[in-house]
Amino acid sequence: MIIRIPQLLTAEEVQEIRRLLQDAPWSDGAPTAGPQAREVKHNQQLDHQTTQATAIRQMVLSALDRTPLFFSATLAKKVFPPRVNRYSGPLNHFGKHVDGSVRYMPGTGERVRSDISCTVFFSDPDSYEGGELSISDTYGEQSIKLAAGDMIIYPSTSVHEVKPVTRGERLACFFWIESMVGSDEKRRLLYDLDMNILGLRAQYGDNEQTVGLTSVYHNLIRMWAQT
C-alpha cells in the first residue's frame, strides 16, 4: 500500500528546516546502510546527534502526532527516529535495494521491525531534476516526487531506489514504522474501511450503519493488532 500524506509539514516548518540545513555538517551516508545496500548508496546524511537533526526530528514527529491520516494508514506501534539525507553532486542516488527488516533504536538498541518505510520531502520538486523515489510493487514501478512537506509511505518489503539527481539538491527525511498490524494486506483493508466510514459520516452523519461499521473497524483492530 503506497499512500501520499499531503502537507504533513506546514510551509513555515519546511522553511525552518531548510534554514537549519543551510550550513549542515553532511557526511557520507553509505556507512549507515547494511552490507548489500551500502554498495549502491551514494548520498549524504546528518548525524542524528547534531543540533539540526534533533530539531528536524522533533518537528517531523510532532507533525505525525497531529495527522490522523498517518495513524489510519500506519497504525503505528513504534517510529524509528527520522533521519535527514541529501542527494546532490557526485553523491546523488541510491540504487535498487530493500530496507533491512529490523532496525535498532539509537542509544537503547531497542528493536523495531520495519513494516512501513516513510519519506518526507523538504525540497520543492521544480528545484531539482531527477531524484524520483521509484518503488516496485504489484503494478510495476511507481515513480514518486512530491511537493515539499508531503510524505509518502510504502511497504518496507518493496524494492526501491532514488534516481540520480542531475540538477540542484534533494533534501528529505526517512524513517520506518513498526505497525500494530504487521500485514500490509490487513492494513490496507483497515485503511479502506476507515476512509469509507469517514466518507459516509461526512455525507450522512452518525447513524446506525456508520456506528456499526465503526464497531467492525475497531473489532478488527482488536483481532489483528499486537500492541
pLDDT, tens digit (0-9, with 9 covering 90-100), for 157-197: 999 999 999 999 999 999 999 999 999 999 999 999 999 99
Across 25-29, 37-41, 188-192, least confident range: 37-41
Q: Structural domain boundaries of the chain?
A: 3-179, 184-224
Phi/psi zone of residue 100: left (φ > 0), alpha (ψ -120 to 50 degrees), beta?
A: beta
Angle between helices 208-224 and 184-204 (to 10 degrees): 160
**CATH T-level fold of 184-224:** DNA Excision Repair, Uvrb; Chain A (4.10.860)
Mean pLDDT of the chain: 95
**Confidence band, pLDDT 50/70/90 cuts, at residue 213:** very high
Q: How many CB atoms lie within 10 A of CB 12?
A: 9
- For residue 38 the three cell numbers come to 551500502
- For residue 72 the three cell numbers come to 489510519
What percentage of residues in the chain have a pLDDT greater than 90? 90
Domain 3-179 is of which CATH architecture? Sandwich (2.60)
